Amino acid sequence: MKPLALPRAAWRLACALVHGLHGLVLVLLRFPSLDRAGREARIAWWSARMFRMLGMGLEVRGAFRPGAKMIVANHVSWLDILAVHAACPQARFVSKAEVRHWPLVARLVDSARTLYLERGRARDALRVVHQCAEALQAGDTVAVFPEGTVNDGHALLSFHGNLLQAAISTASPVQPVALRYADAHGPVSRATLFTGDITLRRSLWWLACADGVQVRVTVLPAQVSAHADRRRLAEHLREEIARALAADLAPQGAAAMASGAVESAVESTGTGGAAGAGGTGGAASVAGTHGR
């Protein structure tokens, strides 16, 4: 570590913690007197500023469609929610219920009208699907991570289609989003790793120590979901996101991402996994299938 790196990392971490406390004060004291638009404006500001506090850059490409929709994104880090909220603060994320026990974070997450899922409980998944459908019918934006857990940023995991049923049932458009974290050392930053037994505390320190981490949010065109087969829709969305990530990587990174996508597709075809067998040729072919 360079001589000035440790003080800089400590300063960044201190700024991030103060900003987190500022967010908590906003939620407790200001949110009750604000209308929905006012709350969402502050969510966008707070989310974008957190990246600056950690010395990270944020770039958003593309635009979210107005009105009700389901956002589908790859999952790399706990920062993913902030990255999407910086551009689409009205998004209501489906999050694992364990987040409720994270200090400070829980109250902030609650303020964004998060929907919680008890992982490993099939009945709870059905409950959340109904909640998502109700939110979409009310005109809300719901955001999901169909991988179900974080990946290492090099290759996408299989996309599960369970939560997509809420969009299909309500004929709500689905908008894929590709999230990528790069830094001075390569197109995939190791500082954003949040897999395995990596704690939130350790992740924060790695991010504070990192050099030139850039977050890119690529918003892709919305897809028709009415009458779609959820497994084929999940696989199609995965292909769209993988293509966007591959196009944004260096040649070596693109080859690795494409290889991972092919391997996963072969495995899904052989085992009949949640992502379904056989890719689609585009949004029209997905929309033309019958839901399950």
The answer to whether the Cα torsion of 84, 86, 88, 90 is positive or negative is positive
Angstrom distance (rounded) from CA 287 to CA 292: 13
**What pLDDT was estimated at residue 97?**
83
**What pLDDT was estimated at residue 3?**
56
68-124: per-residue pLDDT in tens? Answer: 999 999 999 999 999 999 999 999 999 888 888 777 778 888 899 999 998 777 788
Question: Per-residue DSSP letters for 216-258?
Answer: EEEEPPPB--TT--HHHHHHHHHHHHHHHHHHTS-HHHHHHHH
Question: Per-residue DSSP letters for 176-221?
Answer: EEEEEEEBTTBSS-GGG---TT--HHHHHHHHHH-SS-EEEEEEPP
Angstrom distance (rounded) from CA 235 to CA 50: 32
Beta-bridge partner residues of 73: 177
**What pLDDT was estimated at residue 74?**
97
- Judge whether 21 and 53 are in contact, CB under 8 Å: no
**What pLDDT was estimated at residue 248?**
77
Residue ranges in the chain modelled with pLDDT below 50 = 251-256, 258-259, 262-292
Q: Which long-range contacts (CB under 8 A, 24 or more apart) does 136-140 make?
A: 136/68, 136/69, 136/70, 136/166, 136/167, 136/170, 136/172, 137/68, 137/170, 138/68, 139/67, 139/68, 140/68, 140/90, 140/92, 140/113
Which 3 state secondary structure label does DSSP give 280? coil
Q: Which domains does the chain have, with CATH numbers?
A: 5-223 (3.40.1010.10)
Angstrom distance (rounded) from CA 280 to CA 137: 27
Q: What is the largest CA-CA distance in the chain?
A: 61
Q: Running DSSP on this structure, what letter comes out for residue 148?
A: S
**What pLDDT was estimated at residue 123?**
82
Angstrom distance (rounded) from CA 145 to CA 163: 9
- Judge whether 99 and 106 are in contact, CB under 8 Å: yes
- Judge whether 167 and 225 are in contact, CB under 8 Å: yes
Q: How far is CA 258 from each of CA 171, 179, 247, rounded to the nearest angstrom?
A: 31, 16, 10
**What pLDDT was estimated at residue 249?**
73
Query: At residue 105, what are phi and psi to the nearest 5 degrees?
Result: -60, -40
